[in-house]
Structure formats: structure tokens, C-alpha cells
Amino acid sequence: MDYVKAFLVGGTICGLVQILLDRTKLMPGRVMVLLVVSGCILGAAGIYQPFLDWAGAGAAVPLLGFGNTLWKGVKEGIGTDGFLGIFKGGLTASSAGIAAALVFGYIGALVFKPKMKK
């Protein structure tokens, strides 16, 4: 049942984002930033963690989950490193995701022919 819930939640999030991309003239980069910032705000408000506990991987994998991970890292970094933790904490907590995005993005650019949105 956990797999079904994760699939439905993650698919719903991705479907809503796809509708946003199709119905507006927002560029994909701006939508990605909107999702990451929304995840940070929802995490700071204490809303995202209960949702994440309920939805599991379906809420952790999309960019909303990445924003929440950044927020948690910054919060922990401030507790351990003070002011420097604002900058260090988010990168420490999400370094694996950032590295994977860079590597797979580079491989994707080599394999496929990127096109600009009209």
C-alpha cells in the first residue's frame, strides 16, 4: 500500500506541475524555483513534515521535498554552526541530490538534443 500511496501522491504533484507548465508561459526553471521555495516555506511552517510522514517517497522525491531538505539542513546548520550554518547546512543536507542532478543532467545533455521552449 505504501508504494501505491507514494505513486499517487508523487504523480499528483507532478501532474499539477505539468498542468502549470502547459497552461502558463512560465519557464521550467522558474517553476522549479517556485517548487523548491514552496518546499522551504512549507517546511518552515511545519506543514510539510506531517505530509512527508504520511506520503513517504511520493512527497520526498519531487522538488518540494528537495526544498524541505534544504530547510531542514539550514535549521540544523544554524544550531551547530551559527550564522555560517545558513549557507553550509542546506548544501550539506542536500549534497547527494545536487550531485545526482548535475551528473544526470550532464549525461542527459550529451545523449539527447536539448531544445528551447517557444
pLDDT tens sequence for the chain (118 residues): 889 999 999 999 999 999 999 999 999 899 999 999 999 999 999 999 999 999 988 888 888 999 999 999 999 999 998 988 898 988 888 888 889 989 999 999 899 987 776 7
Q: Is residue 118 included in any domain, yes or no?
A: no
For residues 78 and 86, what is the distance between their CA atoms, to the nearest angstrom?
Answer: 6
Q: Is residue 52 included in any domain, yes or no?
A: yes
For residues 71 and 74, what is the distance between their CA atoms, to the nearest angstrom?
Answer: 5
What's residue 117's pLDDT?
67
Q: Is residue 89 included in any domain, yes or no?
A: yes
Q: Can you give the pTM of this predicted structure?
A: 0.79
Q: Quick one: which of 51, 80, 85, 84 has its CA closest to 65?
A: 51
For residues 101 and 23, what is the distance between their CA atoms, to the nearest angstrom?
Answer: 26
Residue with cell 528537495: 66
Boundaries of domain holding 105: 2-111
How many structural domains does the chain have?
Answer: 1
What's residue 35's pLDDT?
94
Q: Is residue 30 included in any domain, yes or no?
A: yes
Instruction: Return the C-alpha cell found at 112.
Output: 539527447
Q: Is residue 39 included in any domain, yes or no?
A: yes
- HSE-CB for 107 with a 13 A CA cutoff: 6
